[in-house]
Amino acid sequence: MKLIRFGQKGKEKPGLWKAGNIVDLTKIFPRIPDIGEAFFQEGWLAKVSQVKDPGQKRQERPGCPVVRPFKIICLGKNYAEHAKEGGFEKPDTPLIFCKTPNALNGPYERI
C-alpha cells in the first residue's frame, strides 16, 4: 500500500496504490482530507491502512504526493556516486538546503 494523489491538476484526490491499482479513498471516506497536515494529525493514516479494497486499474494522472507542506528540507551530494556524477568531491559534512513549497510537482510534469 502506498499513499497517492491522483486526478486533474488542482483537483487531485487522496488514494492508495495497491499492486498497480488505485483505491479512491474519497469513495470510502467521503470526508477524508487531502494528504497534508490534517490527514496525518487526524489519524487518517491508521484508518486508510485498514482498507481492504483492492482498487481498480485506472488511467489517472498521478499528482504531487503531498499538498501544501510547511517546508521542504533537502540533502545534497549525500552519497559519493551522486557527488561524482556532478563532478564534485563528496563533502565532509552534509549539504542541507531548503525549497519553497511551490517547488513540488507531480511525476511526469514540467519543472
What is the model's pLDDT at position 66?
A: 83
pTM: 0.75
- What's the confidence (pLDDT) of residue 2? 95
Q: Where are the domains of the chain?
A: 2-48, 72-103
String of DSSP letters for 43-95: THHHHHTT-----B-----B--SSSS-S-EEEEES-SHHHHHHTT-PPPSS-E
Q: What is the pLDDT of residues 23-69, one digit of tens each?
A: 999 999 999 999 998 999 999 999 999 999 999 999 999 998 888 77
Is residue 5 scored above 80 in pLDDT?
yes
- Whether the per-residue pLDDT at 90 is higher than 90: the answer is no
Nearest CA to 35 among 58, 53, 60, 12?
A: 12
Helix (H, G, I), strand (E, B), or coil: what is residue 28?
helix
Q: What is the pLDDT of residue 68?
A: 77
- Pairing between strand 95-99 and 21-24? unpaired
